[in-house]
Amino acid sequence: METFFIKALQLILSLSILVVIHEFGHFIFARIFKIRVEKFYLFFDPWFALFRYKPKNSETEYGVGWLPLGGYVKIAGMIDESMDKEQLAQPVKPWEFRSKPSWKRLLVMIGGVLFNIILAFFIYSMIVFRWGDSYIPMSHVKQGMEFSETAERVGFRDGDILLLADGKEIIDRGGIVDNFAAQVIDARSVTVLRDGEQIDIVIPSDFVQQLMRDKKGFAGYKDDLPTVVDMVQRGSEAEKIGLVKGDSLVSVNSVPTPTFQDFRGELQKNRGSEIQIDFYRDGMLQTASAKLDSTAVLGFTIATYLVTDHYSFFGSFPAGVKYGLRTLKGYVAQFKHIFTKEGASSLGGFGTIGNLFPAKWSWYSFWMMTAFLSVILAFMNILPIPGLDGGHVLFLLVEAISGRKPSDKFLEYAQLAGMFLLIGLVLYANGMDIVRAIFK
């Protein structure tokens, strides 16, 4: 239950930030062009609101609704989800949306998407400034990978080292859309290193569908890294016994530990005891005694294939923009799979999104997910579907090109159709979450 509340809190906080920033984008452009904004709400408020406030001499009412499916700004003279037909039946006022030229209305409509993209770029910039940009060049993974049966049918073999996808180096950044698997499954061919020889594997066009159908994944790292010390924590038992960067730990109490998993297992067996550790330093075998507490943690990290690039404050901004653009490109590339049978069955709603957050609070993970969701929100909103910002943009572009504005009646029907479609998709996605929870 605690895990559920931690994930739910992260999801609600993240979506609240994204919604407020998105709606502020619409709001600020409307105010720049002297368009009246009647409401600015986080969440929807059918029938009643949890909170509402209208400052003195202000045209705008601010509030928090009870239905956490997004938020909105009610812009005077605009056909939106409020479906305020009475206002539209009145003569056009100079402070209304409909009285402004098409280019101003266009900027008002893309303001939300623009602000979500800017927010994603900013968050990614601060992430790489604070924590750096970490990734694994797959060519460095000398032990190769372990592949699923689905991947083996295509031609991969355990121990293959992933090198290139369509001629580009494969780099695992660990994200949802920029991990090594995402780069491989959409490629036409993948180059691997097998027994010292480079081999090209042709990827079938339905490989993604095969993976989703089989539900066995693509590949994983072999858990056989040696125990080579990378960093020793200050004040730890590892520091007390004199371990330093580069030491290769090979046994505990004379029990061989060829991998870190083996080493960690032996430590757990000897919790609360004194142990003898054998390790190599500069080619010489040495021994040290260590006292384990109940956690059986010595206090060091091992050398992995992870590479971390660090940036100055100002250098982090172009790096953050590149990170955001890479994420957007990866998401757009994977979006097409939604329109397949397997992709549609894998759709999820708030439950699926919430499970992307970690079970324990981590600011790094929270901001990474918030930036990722900001990219998704921007992309989804710009799709040319009535009811979304992209639908309004589409009609405005038609007006700008043809010189003819669609009738209010047409826009009303289009808005209704779009809203029914979006509500249907929300119900379907969240329904799939419920089905998977019951029959998992």
User: What is residue 242's predicted lDDT score, i.e. its pLDDT?
Assistant: 93
CA 19/CA 16 separation, integer angstroms: 5
β strands within 60-179, DSSP E: 61-75, 133-137, 145-147, 161-165, 168-169, 171-172
User: What is residue 84's predicted lDDT score, i.e. its pLDDT?
Assistant: 60
CA 71/CA 239 separation, integer angstroms: 53
How far out from the chain centre does Cα 370 lie?
7
User: What is residue 336's predicted lDDT score, i.e. its pLDDT?
Assistant: 79
Measure the N-to-C terminal CA separation of the chain; round to a whole number of Å: 18
CA 278/CA 252 separation, integer angstroms: 7
- Compute CA distances 45 → 145, 234, 433, whole Å: 51, 53, 25
In single-letter form, the type of residue at position 192 comes to V
- Compute CA distances 9 → 120, 130, 344, 434, whole Å: 20, 23, 27, 19
User: What is residue 52's predicted lDDT score, i.e. its pLDDT?
Assistant: 92
To which H or E segment does residue 219 belong?
strand 219-221
User: What is residue 440's predicted lDDT score, i.e. its pLDDT?
Assistant: 62
- Compute CA distances 46 → 53, 65, 209, 252, 420, whole Å: 16, 8, 40, 65, 16
CA 436/CA 430 separation, integer angstroms: 10
Instruction: Retrieve residue 27's tokens.
Output: 């709001």
User: What is residue 83's predicted lDDT score, i.e. its pLDDT?
Assistant: 57
CA 41/CA 14 separation, integer angstroms: 16
pLDDT in tens, 137-174: 998 888 889 999 999 999 999 999 999 999 999 999 88
Q: SS in 3 state form for 186-202?
A: CCCEEEEEECCEEEEEE
User: What is residue 88's predicted lDDT score, i.e. its pLDDT?
Assistant: 67
**Positions of the chain with pLDDT under 50:** none
